[in-house]
Amino acid sequence: MVRKPTWPALLLGLIPFVGVCFTVALWDRIDPFVLGLPFNFFWLVLWILLTPLCLWGAYHFEKRADPEHSGGPQSGAR
């Protein structure tokens, strides 16, 4: 059964999407160079690195909200 995601997990999952798609006006430039990369390339690489962290956090919010994995009294009933 598929259940609705929790709000914190949904928001964490949307952060990379918003960071890349809706902020183009902020990072669509070459200067300054960061770590030897043009700023727009650095921005995209940064989000490639941050996306797994956001999804890891969303996964843990979902895991905490799931009654089968919360460690409650029903988790050992199987």
Strand, helix or coil for residue 3: coil
Q: Which pLDDT value is given to residue 59?
A: 92
Global pTM value: 0.72
Can you tell me the distance from the alpha carbon of 6 to that of 70, in angstroms, rounded to the nearest whole number? 14
Dihedral of CA atoms 49, 55, 61, 63 in degrees, nearest 10, equals -120
Tell me the pLDDT of the chain (78 aa) as tens digits: 778 888 999 999 999 999 999 988 888 899 899 999 999 999 999 999 999 999 999 999 899 888 776 665 555 444
